Each structure stands twice: as C-alpha cells, then as structure tokens.
Homo-oligomer: A and B are copies of this chain.
Amino acid sequence: MSDLLERLRGRGWRMTSQRRVVAEVLDGEHVHLTADEVHVRAAAKLPEISRATVYNTLGELVSLGEVLEVATDGRAKRYDPNAHRPHQHLVCSGCGAIRDVRPQGNPLSDLPAEERYGFTVEAVEVTYRGVCPSCSA
C-alpha cells in the first residue's frame, strides 16, 4: 500500500493525514467497502475526518485509476482497491458479500459485430450471482 502512497505523491498528490488514512483503509484483497464504511473505519483512526473528504478522496482515487467503483446492487457503490489486476465479481444474494474472481476467456470477444449496434465497445463487466457458503448453511 505504501506503493500506492508513493505513486500518488509522484503524481503530485498533496499528502494529508486524511488521504493517508483513506488509502490505508482501502488496503487488501477482496476489499469492497461502501463510502460510508470507509468513513467509519477512517474515523476510527482520524476522528475528525469528514464524510465529504472521504467522498472526495475516493473520487480522486477512482479518477486516478487506483480504485474501482463497483455497483453490484442498487444500494451504495463499493470501492475496490484491486484495480491493477483485471477481475470480475461474485456476489452473494444472501448477505451481499463480494469476492474477486477471474473467469476464463474474454467476454469482449463473445459479442459479435452484428450485436454491437454500431457501438465502439470498450469494456465489459461480469457479475456472478450466487449464495455463499455461510448463507447456504
């Protein structure tokens, strides 16, 4: 994660304690926190941090391509720091838990030209839905 901080500094990011704790909270594998959850965890380390700052920082991280925004349901967006390894998501219909997964093949090539309606297709997101072990138990 210090990699991230270094990269950001290299891009001219002004380093503040708020940005640091947000970046720290977003560390790890299979992390998919909502903005509010990020705020709660960040506030545990830096009580004065405001909601607006968390939203601003998350938005910047997304613009910089360091974090992915994931909208798996109609509720709050989730933020996924695993942005440098292409992956898709597996979501539990019961509890909403999310795992990063790597399917085989390339869905982009599965869309034939006659199904593209003249669009320039640039990306594809795949969301698998199912029931996790805890919820099916």
Q: Which residues from chain A sit less than 8 Å from chain B, CB to CB?
A: 69, 71, 73-74, 77, 90, 92-93, 99, 101-105, 107-108, 110-112, 115-133, 136
Contact = CB atoms under 8 A, between A and B. Distances in A.
Nearest to A30: B117
A40 to B, nearest CB: 20
B90 A118 contact: no
A46 to B, nearest CB: 26
Contact of A128 (B74, B104, B105, B123): B123
Contacts of A123: 128-130
A124 B105 CA distance: 15
With most chain B CB atoms within 10 A of its CB, the pick from A73, A119, A132, A133 is: A119
